[in-house]
Structure 1
Amino acid sequence: MLRKVCLLGIGSTLLAGCFGTHTSQAPIATTYPISEQQKMQAAHHWDVLAQHQAELLTQNDLLKNQPLFIRGAKQATPFSTAFDTLLTSQLVAKGAYVKTTPAQAAQVSYKVQVVEHKDRGYIRAPEGAMTALAAGIAVATIPYNQWSEPALALIPAAAATDLFSGSWTSETDQEVLITTQVTIADQVVYSNSNIYYINPGDNGHYTPAGAGAKLKNVSVNSEW
């Protein structure tokens, strides 16, 4: 038996030597390092973005003491209408010179793109999620083994939920990419992009009414 195993091992080694090692006929799928992405699901989050952009714009060396004109979106959306006002308020609050006409001013504009993934793969749970779940199951089994009142097991689990539930959210198949740009004499002097998850029902906040509507086919013939 030992002789057969040795012969099999030697044969496998010799056979492997006939082929290249560390090879593949197609790229092997791998993952990115774990990262985080915020989820935008309130008008307050638009104000947070406006505040962030106002801070970057007023701190930019090329834009200090430069009059700014906010150019609205070509097609209004709930987001664009609100963001125009919020960004104006945040810039004025930080001492920026915001004009109501584009003459002699740097033009601030933004682009919004909604991305919908049709076939997204598995997204791993947050670190510690499985540990917390296992701990919750373990706590729930304690009363059946030691305590006289099973409902007492819910107290530590509920306390943990109250403590950490504010940081829990879920990924979605839809994201929004928002890019803010500033141009002076047709030259882009500032560009900043941010990507957020959005709830599927909120995509209408970022796309013009009727955008993406499907055209209906109408049959035409010579009969009256």
Structure 2
Amino acid sequence: MIRSLTAAATLALLAAGCATPYSPAPLATNFGTTKQQKLQAASHWNTIARDVADKLSARIPTGSRLFVNQHSDASAFERAFASQLTTALVDAGHSVMRTPDGAMRVGVETQAIAFTADRPQHRHAGLATALGAGVWALYDIVEYASNGPAKAALATVAAADAYTWFQSEFASGDTPSMEIIVSASVTDASRYVARTSTAYYVSDSDQGLYLPHVEKQEPKLPPMKAFQVVGGE
């Protein structure tokens, strides 16, 4: 009895030692798991342009005249996105003008942020979960197969296909080091009428598409000086 009480007291002390009631700084913890889309094609840009148009349309007064503004150093993404957003706003029934006179301005801003490379990405707590779900989803296919080795082989293929199916939701490769924040706003002379901001991953190999366009300048030659030669025969 005494040994049991001693062991319980020891465990209680050890447990108490694991929980520190005071700390010189807040303890770092992870956010709850979320998902963030990765832009990998121009069609993805079109998809988010239509999403942005829908969000802005919900706040824009009916009958408003709009002008999609674009700054001179816009990136390749911003130039394409402004064009796609113009199309999406026209399709939504808005009057999109060619000049800014008398129209509210629609502006697109992109902020590219580079994080540390090789950030961890844990897609599943365990492979068995996805594989099990996949086998269940393809159960009917396996049931209609013939008995014996053929059925066993089909079950194996079905499991592999199911695993691929459930994994296809996630972008391949490591977590990208670059993310972009895409903000779109509708403004009049003095205020924001509507605004939306969303963050996306982008492929590291495509970073140049999201960085500001810089005009290449020809190298400047130093000014030439004329010298007068005196002398001769």
Give the TM-score taking structure 2 as reference length. 0.69
Please tell me whether residue 181 in structure 1 is matched to residue 185 in structure 2: yes
State yes or no: 1:195 paired with 2:199: yes
Using the TM superposition, give the Cα deviation of residue 128 of structure 1 relative to its aligned residue in structure 2, in angstroms. Answer: 5.2
The CA deviation at 1:63 is 3.0
Look up the match of 2:50. Answer: 51
Identity %: 31
Pairs within 5 Å for 1:1-224: 22-60=21-59, 62-118=60-116, 121-126=119-124, 129=127, 131-132=129-130, 154-161=156-163, 163-170=165-172, 171-210=175-214
Can you give the 5+ residue segments of structure 1 that lack an aligned partner in the other structure? 137-145, 212-224
Question: Do the aligned partners of residues 5 and 187 (structure 1) sit closer, same or farther apart at CA in structure 2, a change above 3 Å counting?
Answer: same
Distance in 2 separating the partners of 1:87 and 1:135: 39
* Residue-pair matches, total: 197
> Stretches of 4+ moved more than 6 A in 1?
2-14, 133-136, 150-153
CA distance change for structure 1 residues 158 and 6 in 2, over 3 Å: closer, same or farther? closer
Residues 12 and 78 (structure 1), Cα distance of their counterparts in 2 relative to 1, 3 Å cut: closer
TM-score norm. by structure 1 comes to 0.71
Q: Is the 8 A contact 1:39 1:198 kept in 2?
A: yes
Change beyond 3 A, Cα 1:33–1:123: same
How many angstroms does 1:174 deviate by?
Answer: 1.4
Name the CA distance, whole Å, in 2 between partners of 1:9 and 1:50. Answer: 62
What root-mean-square deviation, in Å, do the aligned CA atoms of Structure 1 and Structure 2 show? 3.6
CA contact (8 A) 2:69 2:107 kept: yes
**Contact 2:104/2:186, CA 8 A, preserved across alignment:** yes
Q: Return closer, same or farther for 1:127/1:100 CA change in 2, 3 Å cut-off.
A: farther
Q: Which amino acid aligns with 1:83?
A: F
Encode CA deviations 1:138-166: one digit per residue, 9 max, x unaligned: xxxxxxxx979x97775233331453353
Q: Distance in 2 between matches of 1:12 and 1:51?
A: 59
Distance in 2 separating the partners of 1:164 and 1:78: 33
Deviation at 1:13, TM superposition (A): 8.6
Shift of 1:30: 1.1
SS class of match (1:193):
strand
Is the CA contact (8 Å cut-off) linking 1:50 and 1:87 kept in structure 2? yes
Distance 1:95 1:49 in 2: 18
Q: Flag the 1:104–1:131 CA change in 2: closer, same or farther, 3 A.
A: same
User: Does the 8 Å contact 2:111/2:182 carry over to 1?
Assistant: yes
